[in-house]
Structure formats: structure tokens, C-alpha cells
Structure 1
Amino acid sequence: MEAFDPITLEVYWSRLISIADEAATGLLRTAFSTIVRESNDFATVLMDRNGDSISENTGGIASFSCILPKTTKTFLQRFPIETWQPGDCVITNDPFLATGHLPDFTAVSPIFHGGRIVGFAGSIAHSPDVGGALWSADCRELFEEGIRIPPARLFRAGQRNEDLVELLSANVRIPGPVMGDLEAQVVANEVAVRRCAEFLEDTGLDDLQGLSEALQARADQAMRRAIAEVPDGIYRATLEADGFDEHITHIACAVTVAGETMHIDFAGTSPQIDRGINCVLNYTHAYSVYPVKCALDPFTPRNEGSYQAITVAAPEGSILNPRFPAPCSARQLTGHLLAGVIYKALADVLPDKVLAECGGAPTMRALFSGLDRNGDRFSQVLFASGGMGASPHRDGLPTTAFPTNVGAGSIEAYESVAPLLVWRKQLRPDSGGAGRFRGGLGQEAEIEVRTPAAVRLSLLSDRRDHPAQGLLGGGPGAPAVIAIDDGTRPHPKSRTSVETGRRVTLLYPGGGGFGDPRRRDPEAVRADIRDGYITEEAAMRDYGVKA
């Protein structure tokens, strides 16, 4: 391993992170969809010539950053490293090779320096459309969920593959935004390629390998030191979620700590089902190791080394490791639950480092699609979040996503691109679970359909029957509720038709509380009443405090 003094290593690492951040800015500024521009559903990553991650953009989706190196290694098996040329860009949206569902496109470009490949720049972004059933949870197999692109060259030596573009454009409803976002990913990669070449020129390094090994070793050491502070043992927990109709999701988790290593095993988890809430192993791994990183080593920047001390296993054929061609479009409805069950398993041994379950885990999504008044197609997702679970030190954050960090974006931007009117988007009182520290509040959104004809509403939600649970005596958050103003309650994981003029109300769930509610500071309870976070009735019932 090449030797770097600590100061130089820190300076180099910070600069590589800034390159990934600049690539992310390039993607944001050139993307077409609000999914990327407003809701942050993307990531950019720098990798060495082996496909191991060196740095990632600061605000990217953590699961994307963890999975992208795995997909790049798959690309290298398909296209050996000696066959890559400057100006190449390889893409895929294969769920089993990449991020677990078809709407996410992975794009990887080579970085050349001195006439040879020294690394790769990669990006992932959620596309506004992939054909098929759009973003839904009720398909019976993967083939219904949209077009699947195996690893293929979108660009070869700077020349665009027009056959691939034509194939993709012919299979989606809104080819302009789809191709616009994909081209924005290529732009992001090109920014990273140029800046990385400048970095090597400035530093005098021949390639990225020695630096990559040093940075990975530093991240690995930080995680191993953190794991070593956890008492050895096997810690178990289970969690249940709504699942799909009669198929309730059961997740069993055993966390084994042995010295500087941790193994997370999901044996005993529900078998896969013929609905789109299956979670492929790449995604299961990402949302198992990332919550551990947040709890044990939150301040060291992430790269490939951050996760080498943690292994993850899930039975083949389970809902956390399904067999092809299992449907998986709504895999986040299962994968986002893993942080909660892992933290529950570790709560007794790490009570000062874990969160109660989050109302925004899994995320609740409402996708409206149809024709606007000009006869043009639109497909628009409302990105909004429930409340975070409370921590041992503070109340849960309201309307904040975790373990994903996707954003909500601007309602003005949302309304500007679709014939939808948001009448209300406000905090939901009494939705945070009671506790010494209260769970974060969910929110209430009311949306009116203003299209010339009915639209299709695709819902991806959970927490209706199984709200976010508290930890160590904390109470549960409020459940999710979805209703239409004609009195109907649409299926929470299926597609339905909404007539023009109707209003859809979405009540996002709250986070679980932490600790005994009767130990909450009475003045904090009264402040919550004044702020409208809880009602006087809830204050008396849950905390024994009068206004």
C-alpha cells in the first residue's frame, strides 16, 4: 500500500468528495425530472480501476452509493477493462444487477490518465418512467414492471448508441424526460472524469490505486474500531409490516458481533411473494450496512472500506433475496424496514446509538399519471415523508426520511409540471409516538386532480396496520391513512383511477417514541401543545400532563 501522511490523505479525500459533489451538481442542473432536480433521488460515485468506491457525493442516496461499485464490477465482467475506450458509458437498470428495481438507471464511464484506465465515474438516478406498470407494487412478475436494459453501451467512444436510445424511447410514455435524465447522468460522469484527470495532474499521482487502498483502509479501520466497542454476542429482533393483502411481511434478524466484525442474518424472514415488494440482495445489503454505519461510525466519509467488516445474509427465495424474475418495483417497502429491525436488535446493548422505528420507513409514494389539458402525457410522483423515530437524545425529526435521504422538493415545482393542485401539506398533530423523546410528526397532504379525464394513481405505502414502533418504552407513531373525498379508501399498494376534480388525502405516519413517556419533561409537553404538535387530550393520556 502506498504511504500517505494523514494530512495529505485528508486533503486528497476531501478533494475527491468535492469531485463527486461537482458531478452531482452537473446532474442536478441538467436533469429534466423533479425526481432528480427536486427530490434528490440520485447519487454520484468515484471508483478505482477495480470498481471499488473511493468517494461519493455528500447528499446522495446511500443505498445507491453502496450498490454502484457492485454493478460496476458486473460491467467489468461483461466488458473487460481492456475493451473500454475514452467516451464510453455503460448503463443498466436490471434490478438483480443494480439497485433492485427498474426505475433506477446506473451509468458508468471510464477515467483515463496517461493513456490507460485509472478508475470509473458512476451515477444512479430514478427515471420518471420505464414503461410497463410504471412504479407500482401489484405486478406478479418482473416482466410486467417495465423495460429491462441489460448492461449495454449507451455511448461508445463518444458516439451515442442510437439503436439503444430508440429502443428505450419506444417503450416509455415520456421519452423526453427519460432520455433527458439519462443524458444528465452522462454529463455528471463527464464532469467527474475531467475533474479526476485534473486531480491526478495536480497531485502527480500516476493513478488512483494506491490512494484508493489507503482511503479504504482508513474507512475500514474506523468501522472496525467502532464494532470492537460493541460487546460480543448474538442480538435478535423481529418486525412485522403490512406486506401485501394476506401476505404480512415478517423480518427476522440476528446480529452477531465478534471482535471487529459484524454479521447480519435474516434467516426466518418471509418467503418471496408474487407482488412487487420483494427486495433483491444488493438492496438488502445496502440498507443493512448503512444503518450500522450511521449508528457506529457516523462521521467518517463512506467508501468501499466502510462496509468490509460487515457481512449480510438472507435466505435465497426469501422476500430479502428473491429468485428471478420476482417482481420488485416497490422493494423499498421492504428494504427500508431493515434499519428498524437492526436497531431493535441492538437497542439493549447500544441504547445511546439507535433510533426508534421511523414513520417514513418505508417511504409512502403516490404516483399520478395521465394526460394534461394539452393532451401530453405526464407522470409525477409526490415525494414526502413521515416522521423519524426518536433518538436517545432528542425528539424525532418531523417529515424527514430515513434510512433513505430522498427529499420532498418544492410544491410549486411539483404543480408546475402536472395538472395537480396541492391544497394542504402540513404537520399532522398527535402522529409522533409518545416517549421521553417524542417521535417525529408525519404530515397531511391533500391533492386535487385537475386533468380533463381520470388519472391513474399508483400507491406504494405501508404502516397502515403496523405503525412505527417505539423503543425502550416509547409508544408507536400514528398509522398511514389514504382516502379519496368520495369516501373510498384505495388499496395501499395498487393502482386505481381517480376522477377529475377529486381530492386525495394522504396522512403520513409518525415515528416511534423513545423511552418512558412519563419521564418526558412536562415543559416539553406543554411546548408541544403550544406549537400544535400534540393535543391537550394526548398530553394527558400519554404523558399525564395538563396544559
Structure 2
Amino acid sequence: MSAPGPFDPISLEIHWSRLISIADEAATGLLRTAFSTIVRESNDFATVLMDRNGDSVSENTGGIASFSCILPVTTKAFLRRFPAETWRPGDCVITNDPWLATGHLPDFTAVTPVFHRGALVGFAGSIAHSPDVGGSLWSADCRELFEEGIRIPPMHLYREGVRNEALAEVLLANVRLPRQTMGDLEAQVVANQVCARGVAEFLADAGLPDLQGLSSALSARADAAMRAAIRALPDGTWRSVLEADGFDDAITRICCEVTIRGDAMHIDYAGTSRQVDRGINCVMNYTHAYSVYPIKCSLDPFTPRNEGSYKAITVSAPEGSILNPRFPAPCSARQLTGHLLAGAIYKALAPVMPERIIAECGGAPTMRALFSGTTAEGDRFSQVLFASGGMGAAPHRDGLPTTAFPTNVGAGSIEAYESVAPLVVWKKQLLPDSGGAGKFRGGLGQEVEIEVRAPEEVRLSLLSDRRDHPAQGVLGGLPGGAAVIELGDGTRPHPKSRTTVPPGARLRMHYAGGGGYGDPRERDPAALAEDIRNGYVTAEGAARDYGVTP
């Protein structure tokens, strides 16, 4: 039996804050016990608390937004496979199936039941990007899903506190970094256990039998906030088209149509490019997550997120398109398509809410370089550089430099990065003139130079875009600087493929800048002068883009 309602506003706020802190505590548990720098340094994870229906109640404040949106969807899929009455204390179910979870194999989802006084009251969930899933490395050039790594259907990693050693043995036999891979998975189990303990303590302190009444109240509050924000906009339909590099000659074309009717919004991607036989396809879970999240950021940024935040927004994409591919389409680099959706949505809505959108981001999609090989001691390594281009400019300020959006993965410590792999980062600095000119300037990209210090050749996998299609400005703003990847000898490797590089080779990457907002001629002269003093804009850039000679 659920607690009676409604809750008074003060109690609701207090309860909600504590539930968020429980998710944050779970995140701390994951960070402190994870093995890979992907989790410990780069923040590529999320923790979510859900009620017994699998609806999200709270999520950690620094988690990856797409993960938090998708975890309830995956938990509901688990419940269809394993009905609620079959779950036991000490269970943990995992999967990395792209169509059930986050859209590519490197992300593992782990869900643990939460019990209170012998009854199932909810679920604790976590998602983390694994350091390795076997197969082709994290790459963009595979032809089908089966090349991209091992796929684990929903299975018990733990059953009543006992680890499924057969599953663990199969998984670890298929990955290059078994210690890190299992270490991160076990860290997810720990995080879920921390969350479960916190919920039991909370229910005891609050005198509640379960989470259902509170979950309904919190969801209704989040839903009401989003619907009020949508209702404040005029009814109508707005459209945009965004193009990206795609793969070779197959340019990605995203057609976006946003319709507002009353307090509801529908986002439709009819006309978007068909799925391709390369790993940049974006499954519907990921498409939905990175469609609703930008709307949340622009219309209702301050209400904490949960299941209710997105009920007013529906999303559709044609089956067989690059935003809703059919199994077994390759999708390992699905972020190279999914991260573009915020730009397409904001471009469509610019005429109706120009004060609430930003220009396209140079860090959307993110650019990744994965090095894999053997150290001088004979140990395997596989290390990803997490770095970002510049954010798009906003209606009231310049874009943030080297900051990711819509993802919020961080770069992490270069010292930690170099400590776990034979790689030396010689340069990591802002790129002058890379921010698109405008009344407000786009965020600067960066230049990174890495030397390979391994005793043998290493495999390099590149996942990038924005080479031929830089981030566009909005409402008169100019595009940001384009992405560039080249080796020390001047050759430019394929931006979405795997290659080998010899010891001593250096890789130089220019991360793209964000687009500008508004007419560059309207930029505050004092702000431009400050940019020139700081080296963000050169004298040549000022003359070319702003018509000003310093």
C-alpha cells in the first residue's frame, strides 16, 4: 500500500532533495571504486533511482543526460523479461544490448532491486561506459553490430548475492582489458547497493512504506513544470535541416519538425537520412533521449529531472532511418549522429524562442581518439582521449570553450591519462579564431598533440565529425572553426576509421569551435578588444569576421 497524498510542497521538496542526494551518493560510490579513467576521470556514467514500475524518481546531478533518460526504459525491458515478483535481494541484472539500452555496446546497464521490510519498493540503476567490449575497439567503420563487440542480453550478473561466474567468464574471455572491465562492472554493483541502502534508510526516516506515492507526486510536479513552459510558446510547426559529414560520400542529413499544440510538443525526423552500413546509426532510445533533453535545458532548466520531465514531449523517426535503424545495424559511434539533434531542434525553434536556444556546438558530436596496444611491460592498454570542442554562443553570453553539450563527459586529468598508457600529451591549448563570430562569440575549440611511446605499433580508432560541416551560427552568427586531424608527417587519417601508428608518431587534433549568435557587427567593442588581448581572436580574425582592424 502506498503512502497517502498529496504531499505538501515543503515536504515534497525536502524528500526530493534527499532522493537526489541518494543518487549522488551512489555516483560517489561508483567513482571511488571504478577502475577505468573513463569513469573516474571523464564522468561517462549515471546513477538513477526508480520506483517499482521502473519510473525514474531521481538521478545524480552530474550524470550523462542520455543515460538518465534511458535507464528507466531499460529497467522496464528487464521487468518484461523478469517480472517484479521474481526479483530477490542481492540480484543485479545487466545488459549492453544497444536496442534495449543506450544505443551502443560499450555502455553497460546494471539494475538492482530495492527492498524495504521484505517488499520490492524500487530499483537502483547505473550505466557506465566500459573500457572494452571486445570486437573492433570503439569504432565507427564496422559494417554490422556483430563486429563491434560482445552483446550481453538481459542476464543476472548476481542472483541473490551470488555472482554468475559463467557469465563473467564469457564476458572476460572476449575483452582485452578484463581487470578494468570487471572492475567497472563491480563498481556499478557497488553503486546500486549504496543507492538501495540509502532508499531503505530514507523510507524508515520518512515513515513511508514505499516510493510509489512520492514518485507519482514528483513526476506530476515535473510534468506540470514542463507543460507550463511549453504552453507559454505559441502553437505551430517549425522545421530545420542540419547536415553533417556522415561517412565518406554519405552525408548525414537530419530533417527536424517541431510541433507545439497546447502543453504538448512533438518532434518528428521524417525525411532524415536512411541508416547506413557504418557505425554512426543512432537507435531510437538515444534519439529520444537527446531530443527531449535539449528541450528540458531550454524550457525548464531548474526543475530536477525525473520521469515526468518528458511526458509532454513525443519523438518519432522513420524506421530504417539513421535515427531509428533496424537491427543489426552498426551503431558503436551513434553519438556522431545523436549529438547533432540539439542543434537541429534549436535551429527549428530559433524563430519562436530565440532567447532560449544556443548556436550549434563544435563539441557536438564529440571527437574521440582511442589508442590500443601493448606497454613495454607487455600489458594491454586501451585508452580514450575525452576532450571537447567549443559550445555554441547563447543569447546573453559567449559560448563556453572546450565544453561538451549535450553530453557532459569531462576531459579528466591528463596526468591520469598518461599514467595508464604509453602516451604523452605534448600540447592541449585553446585554438584562436575557432569560435564563430557573432554578437556573442562561439566557444573556442582546442588543439591537442599526442605522442605514442609504446614499443610497438598501436591501433588508433578515430570517431569524429565537423571536418566539412563546422558548427553553424544562429540568427546571423558565423560558423565555428572546423575539426582537423593529422599525423606528424602531415598525412590526414580517415576521420572515422581504424589505423595503426608507429612508436614515436604524433597525432594532432583541432577540436571544432562553436557557432556564433547574432550579427558580428553588434559585438561589444570592449568584448572584442578583450578577446584580442587574451589571444582568443587574432588581428586577422577580427578584420575578417568583425570588420575591425585592431
Give the TM-score normalised by structure 1.
Answer: 1.00
Q: 2:307 aligns with which of 304, 308, 323?
A: 304
Residue in structure 2 matched with residue 330 of structure 1 by the alignment? 333
Q: What CA distance in whole angstroms lies between the structure 2 residues aligned with 1:40 and 1:218?
A: 29
Matches within 5 A, 1:121-270: 121-270=124-273
Q: 2:477 aligns with which of 468, 474, 478?
A: 474
- 3-state DSSP of counterpart to 2:110: strand
Q: CA deviation at 1:2?
A: 2.0
CA contact (8 A) 1:525 1:545 kept: no
- 3-state DSSP of counterpart to 2:485: strand
Q: What CA distance in whole angstroms lies between the structure 2 residues aligned with 1:117 and 1:541?
A: 64
Q: CA deviation at 1:486?
A: 1.6
Which deviations, in whole Å up to 9, do the C-alpha atoms of 1:494-514 show, x marking residues without a partner? 001111001000000000000
Aligned amino acid, residue 513 of structure 1: G
Residue in structure 1 matched with residue 324 of structure 2 by the alignment? 321
Q: What CA distance in whole angstroms lies between the structure 1 residues aligned with 2:248 and 2:182?
A: 36
Q: CA deviation at 1:3?
A: 1.1
Query: What is the RMSD of the two structures over their aligned residues, measured on CA atoms?
Result: 0.5
Which deviations, in whole Å up to 9, do the C-alpha atoms of 1:121-160 show, x marking residues without a partner? 0000000000000100000000000000000000000000
CA contact (8 A) 1:457 1:496 kept: yes
Residue in structure 2 matched with residue 488 of structure 1 by the alignment? 491
State yes or no: 1:426 paired with 2:425. no
Which deviations, in whole Å up to 9, do the C-alpha atoms of 1:416-467 show, x marking residues without a partner? 0000000000000000000000000000000000000110000000000000
CA contact (8 A) 1:135 1:458 kept: yes
Q: What CA distance in whole angstroms lies between the structure 2 residues aligned with 1:117 and 1:23?
A: 19
Aligned amino acid, residue 515 of structure 1: G
Number of aligned residue pairs: 547
Q: CA deviation at 1:405?
A: 0.5
Q: 2:36 aligns with which of 33, 37, 49?
A: 33
Identify unmatched segments of 5+ residues in structure 2. Answer: none
Which deviations, in whole Å up to 9, do the C-alpha atoms of 1:478-521 show, x marking residues without a partner? 00000001221000000011110010000000000000000001
- 3-state DSSP of counterpart to 1:316: coil
Residue in structure 2 matched with residue 394 of structure 1 by the alignment? 397
Q: What CA distance in whole angstroms lies between the structure 1 residues aligned with 2:365 and 2:24?
A: 27
Residue in structure 2 matched with residue 349 of structure 1 by the alignment? 352
Residue in structure 1 matched with residue 122 of structure 2 by the alignment? 119
Aligned amino acid, residue 508 of structure 2: T
Q: CA deviation at 1:279?
A: 0.1
Aligned amino acid, residue 279 of structure 1: C
Which deviations, in whole Å up to 9, do the C-alpha atoms of 1:4-28 show, x marking residues without a partner? 0000000000000000000000000
Residue in structure 1 matched with residue 462 of structure 2 by the alignment? 459
- 3-state DSSP of counterpart to 1:369: strand
State yes or no: 1:15 paired with 2:22. no
Q: CA deviation at 1:545?
A: 1.9
Q: What CA distance in whole angstroms lies between the structure 1 residues aligned with 2:509 and 2:173?
A: 33
Q: What CA distance in whole angstroms lies between the structure 2 residues aligned with 1:416 and 1:2?
A: 53
Give the TM-score normalised by structure 2.
Answer: 0.99
Aligned amino acid, residue 232 of structure 1: D
Aligned amino acid, residue 370 of structure 1: G
Residue in structure 2 matched with residue 70 of structure 1 by the alignment? 73
Q: What CA distance in whole angstroms lies between the structure 2 residues aligned with 1:168 and 1:132?
A: 12
Residue in structure 2 matched with residue 368 of structure 1 by the alignment? 371
- 3-state DSSP of counterpart to 1:191: helix
Aligned amino acid, residue 5 of structure 1: D
Q: CA deviation at 1:546?
A: 2.5
Aligned amino acid, residue 151 of structure 2: R
Residue in structure 2 matched with residue 90 of structure 1 by the alignment? 93
Identify unmatched segments of 5+ residues in structure 1. Answer: none
Residue in structure 1 matched with residue 381 of structure 2 by the alignment? 378
State yes or no: 1:435 paired with 2:438. yes
Q: Which stretches of structure 1, 4 residues or more, deviate above 3 A after TM superposition?
A: none
- 3-state DSSP of counterpart to 2:354: coil
- 3-state DSSP of counterpart to 1:319: coil
Aligned amino acid, residue 136 of structure 1: S
Q: What CA distance in whole angstroms lies between the structure 1 residues aligned with 2:207 and 2:137?
A: 48
Residue in structure 2 matched with residue 541 of structure 1 by the alignment? 544
Q: What CA distance in whole angstroms lies between the structure 2 residues aligned with 1:195 and 1:396?
A: 38
State yes or no: 1:101 paired with 2:73. no
Q: What CA distance in whole angstroms lies between the structure 1 residues aligned with 2:408 and 2:267?
A: 23
- 3-state DSSP of counterpart to 1:352: helix
* Percent pairwise identity: 79
Aligned amino acid, residue 487 of structure 1: G
Which deviations, in whole Å up to 9, do the C-alpha atoms of 1:282-336 show, x marking residues without a partner? 0000000000000000000000000000000000000000000000000000000
CA contact (8 A) 1:277 1:327 kept: yes
Residue in structure 1 matched with residue 298 of structure 2 by the alignment? 295
CA contact (8 A) 1:104 1:127 kept: yes
Aligned amino acid, residue 94 of structure 2: I
- 3-state DSSP of counterpart to 2:256: strand
Q: CA deviation at 1:544?
A: 1.9
Q: What CA distance in whole angstroms lies between the structure 1 residues aligned with 2:229 and 2:499?
A: 48
Residue in structure 2 matched with residue 503 of structure 1 by the alignment? 506
Aligned amino acid, residue 477 of structure 1: G
Which deviations, in whole Å up to 9, do the C-alpha atoms of 1:162-202 show, x marking residues without a partner? 00000000000010000000000000000000010000000
Matches within 5 A, 1:42-57: 42-57=45-60
CA contact (8 A) 1:522 1:545 kept: no
Q: CA deviation at 1:31?
A: 0.1
CA contact (8 A) 1:145 1:327 kept: yes
Q: CA deviation at 1:350?
A: 0.4
Q: What CA distance in whole angstroms lies between the structure 1 residues aligned with 2:5 and 2:200?
A: 19
Q: What CA distance in whole angstroms lies between the structure 1 residues aligned with 2:546 and 2:144?
A: 48
CA contact (8 A) 1:61 1:404 kept: yes
Q: What CA distance in whole angstroms lies between the structure 2 residues aligned with 1:479 and 1:544?
A: 21
Aligned amino acid, residue 110 of structure 1: P
